[in-house]
Amino acid sequence: MVRTLLVRGLLLGLLAGLLAGAFAFAIGEPRIDDAIALEEAAAAAEPAPADDGHSHEHGANVTRGQQKFGLFLATGLYGLTIGGIFALAFAGLRGRVGPRTDGGLALAAAGTAFAAVILVPFLKYPANPPAVGDPETITSRTLLYLAMIGVGLLATAIAVTTSRRVPGGAWPRGAAAVAAFVVPVAVAYLLLPTVNEVPAEFPATLLWQFRISSLGTQAVFWAAFGALFGWAADRAARPASAPAPAAAPASA
C-alpha cells in the first residue's frame, strides 16, 4: 500500500508539475521577459562601472531558451519531490486524521498544504521577478522564507490538534481550527522582519502580474495534484475485482 501510494505520488506529482510548468510558460514567462528587459535596459543606461564582478546573473552561459526549457525541468522535479513527500504523509494520515475517504483526504490535505506551505510564505515574502531583490541578502531572504514554511506547518499541526479537542459538531471544530491556524501565522507576520527591496522605478503593474502568475503556478500544481492523487488513491483502495461485468448490456 505504501509503495503504491509513493509511486503514484511521484508520477502524478511529476505530471502536475509539468501542467504547472505549462501554465507558468504561458502566463509567467512573458513577465520574466519584461523584467529582464528592464534589468538590461537599466544596466545599459548605467554609466559603466562595468566588470566589477557584479554579474550575478548569466555566469554559466545558459541562454533564455534553455532557461525556458529549464522551467519545465524545475516544475517537473518540484512536482516529483512534493508528490513523494505528500504520498508518505498521506499514508501516515490515512485512517488517523481528516476525511474518511481517500479522495476526500487527498483534496483536504492538498488544500491545507497549499495554504500552509505556499500561501502563508507568499503573503509575507511574495515571489519576486528578476531585477527585484538584492543579491547580497539572498541567504537571509531564503532563511526567512523557509521559516515561514515552518510556521505554516506548525500552525497546521496546532490547528489539527486544537480542533480535535473541541467538543461539538463540524462548525465549532472548523472555527477552532481556523482560529488556531491564523493566530500563530499572524504573530509570525508581526514578528518577522519585512523585506522591501523593490527598486523605486520598477513598474508596480508588472510586479503584480508576475506575483499573480507565480501564485497561479502553485495553485495549478496543487489543484491538479490533489485531484489526480485523490483519484488514484481512491482507485488503489478499491478491490481490483470490482465490476468490469462480463455480461455487459449490449452497448458496443
Partner 1 sequence: MSDLSAPSSVPFPRLRPWLLAVPVLLLIGYLVLMDNGAVSQTGDLLHELMHDGRHLLGVPCH
- Per CB under 8 A, residues contacting partner 1 are 1-3, 6, 21, 24, 28-29, 32, 56-62, 66-68, 70-75, 77-78, 80-82, 84-85, 88, 91-92, 94-96, 100-102, 105, 118, 121-122, 125-130, 133, 135, 138, 141-142, 145, 210, 213-215, 217-218, 237-239
Q: Indicate the residue among 163 and 214 with the shorter CB distance to partner 1.
A: 214
- Least distance CB 179 / partner 1 (angstroms): 26
DSSP string for residues in 133-177: S-GGGHHHHHHHHHHHHHHHHHHHHHHHHHHHH--SSHHHHHHHH
Q: Indicate the residue among 98 and 166 with the shorter CB distance to partner 1.
A: 98
- Least distance CB 146 / partner 1 (angstroms): 9
Alpha carbons 214 and 145: distance in angstroms, whole number: 15
- Least distance CB 80 / partner 1 (angstroms): 7
Alpha carbons 154 and 159: distance in angstroms, whole number: 9
| Rounded (5°) CA angle 247-249-252 | 105
Q: Indicate the residue among 239 and 249 with the shorter CB distance to partner 1.
A: 239
Alpha carbons 149 and 136: distance in angstroms, whole number: 22
Alpha carbons 102 and 27: distance in angstroms, whole number: 32
**Residues 131 and 36 sit within 8 Å (Cβ to Cβ):** yes
